[in-house]
């Protein structure tokens, strides 16, 4: 009966085959990202009503002041940068917060922001910025140089009201008020659920789904350790150590719009997992390169798939290039879950003293030909038989 239904569909229903193809494409959908005005006054360019025009002095927000889009508490200053832009400085017990509405559909929410100490080298305190939401909290160090960070905030839907809180934290007192952290350029992004695309057994193997890049930033986005791949700013990848999320506008990216640079050495890397068929053969492919940021020397990465480990080294001139590598392995896990990871153990610096390292991109995990064909036939037959069933009603 099944063969009869399939033959009848092929001979008499060519128009319906297009509908079946559309169904298959729906199964291959990889997700949707949005960053459309989720926060008000996210760049702080709308000043407090009482802010003096053309003022360059820090403006302490008082009890009767307002900051458009935000609530605040403790010591909060409104700053004007040398280039004319604006930021908010969080002093003693300083906090700002804003409530936004999650979309109707369930999605992951990521935040990108810039932070710096406006006092630069004159500061000695160990200040930090704390970002929190109902499901997460991240603590980010404040250094002499401006840094851009990304954080997974949580997963919400149904229009739920979410309170985003940004606060200062310090381990010691510093009488120099300019040493407290200044926050700017906050971008909130939502990403719908992702699934595997084409014949890649990994989700987000090209690293296209992560936090937004700031339009005024050239330094990429630093991602701090995230043990869980489902609570990571790099969707479906756990983060070991600190890595940098880089974009093709300002760096060399081997494929697509984004890639990962392993910058901090000392077992720095990324890790995910795939549900594989035990004793079946697979091939892991990936690109390894440099980001065209003067990162010169031997850049080494250890790639692991299950129990198989391979070391790969490229000789980088720091001018932007990549090589493609691959190796075969057999799934040997009794649970069916096979870990996939890329780890760097060495630290490198650019000529400007900025930490740098190997760039990893375009990670593809493919099944052996026989297993892949069997999976594809099962995958394609399901929607086709569904269409035939509807036609026979």
Same structural domain, 109 and 123: yes
Average pLDDT of the residues in 174-181: 70
Q: For a pLDDT cut of 70, what percent of the chain falls above it? A: 80
Average pLDDT of the residues in 65-84: 93
Same structural domain, 201 and 225: yes
Last residue of one domain, picked from the residues 193, 211, 237: 193
Same structural domain, 275 and 320: yes
- Six-digit token pair at 79? 């700053």
DSSP labels, 115-144: EEETTGGG--S-EEEEEEETTEEEEEE--S
**Distance (Å) of CA 390 to CA 22, 164, 386, 393:** 15, 48, 6, 5
Same structural domain, 276 and 164: no
Last residue of one domain, picked from the residues 193, 228, 259: 193
pLDDT surpassing 50 at residue 95: yes
Q: Phi/psi at 204 (nearest 5 deg)?
A: 60, 40
Q: What is the pLDDT of residues 213-270, one digit of tens each?
A: 998 889 999 999 999 999 999 999 999 999 999 999 999 999 999 999 999 888 899 9
Domain hosting 110: range is 33-193
Let me know: does 364 contact 286? Beta carbons within 8 Å. yes
pLDDT surpassing 90 at residue 3: no
Same structural domain, 202 and 245: yes
Same structural domain, 56 and 189: yes
Local confidence band at 172 (pLDDT 50, 70, 90 cut-offs): low
pLDDT at residue 388 in the model: 52
Structural domain count of the chain: 2
Q: What is the pLDDT of residues 15-50, one digit of tens each?
A: 333 333 333 323 333 445 555 579 999 999 999 998
Same structural domain, 23 and 37: no
pTM for this prediction: 0.85
Average pLDDT, the chain: 84
pLDDT at residue 25 in the model: 29
Of the segments 15-29, 81-95, 193-207, 272-286, which one has the largest average pLDDT value?
Answer: 272-286
Same structural domain, 170 and 233: no
pLDDT surpassing 50 at residue 1: no
- Six-digit token pair at 307? 């129990």
Q: What is the pLDDT of residues 284-299, one digit of tens each?
A: 999 999 999 999 999 9
The CATH number of the domain holding residue 265 is 2.60.120.260
Let me know: does 363 contact 284? Beta carbons within 8 Å. yes
């Amino acid at each position: 009966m099944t063969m009869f239904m399939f033959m009848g569909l092929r001979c008499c229903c060519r128009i319906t085959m297009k509908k079946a193809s559309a169904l298959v494409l729906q199964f291959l959908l990889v997700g949707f990202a949005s960053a459309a005005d989720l926060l008000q006054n996210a760049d702080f360019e709308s000043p407090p009503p009482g802010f003096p025009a053309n003022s360059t002095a820090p403006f302490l927000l008082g009890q009767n002041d307002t900051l458009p889009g935000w609530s605040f508490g403790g010591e909060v200053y409104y700053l004007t940068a040398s280039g004319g832009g604006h930021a908010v400085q969080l002093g003693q017990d300083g906090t700002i917060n804003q409530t936004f509405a999650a979309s109707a559909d369930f999605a992951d929410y990521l935040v990108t922001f810039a932070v710096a100490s406006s006092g630069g080298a004159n500061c000695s305190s160990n200040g930090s910025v704390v970002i929190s939401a109902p499901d997460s909290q991240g603590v980010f160090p404040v250094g002499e140089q401006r840094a851009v960070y990304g954080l997974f905030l949580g997963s919400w839907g149904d229009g739920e009201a979410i309170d985003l809180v940004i606060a200062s934290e310090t381990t010691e007192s510093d009488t120099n008020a300019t040493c407290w952290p200044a926050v700017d350029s906050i971008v909130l992004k939502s990403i719908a659920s992702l699934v595997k695309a084409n014949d890649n057994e990994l989700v987000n193997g090209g690293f296209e789904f992560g936090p937004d890049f700031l339009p005024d930033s050239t330094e990429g986005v630093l991602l701090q350790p995230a043990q869980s791949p489902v609570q990571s700013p790099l969707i479906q990848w756990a983060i070991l150590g600190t890595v940098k999320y880089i974009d093709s506008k300002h760096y060399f990216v081997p494929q697509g719009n984004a890639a990962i640079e392993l910058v901090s050495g000392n077992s720095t890397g990324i890790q995910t997992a795939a549900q594989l068929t035990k004793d079946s053969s697979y091939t892991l492919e990936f690109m390894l390169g440099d980001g065209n940021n003067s990162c010169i020397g031997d850049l080494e990465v250890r790639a692991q798939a299950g129990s198989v480990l391979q070391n790969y080294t490229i000789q980088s001139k720091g001018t932007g290039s990549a090589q493609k590598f691959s190796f075969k392995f057999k799934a040997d896990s009794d649970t069916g879950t096979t870990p996939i990871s890329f780890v760097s153990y060495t630290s490198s610096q650019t000529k400007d003293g900025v930490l740098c390292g190997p760039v990893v991109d375009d990670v593809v995990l493919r099944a052996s030909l026989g297993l892949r064909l069997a999976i594809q036939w099962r995958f394609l037959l399901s929607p086709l038989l569904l269409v035939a069933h509807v036609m026979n009603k």
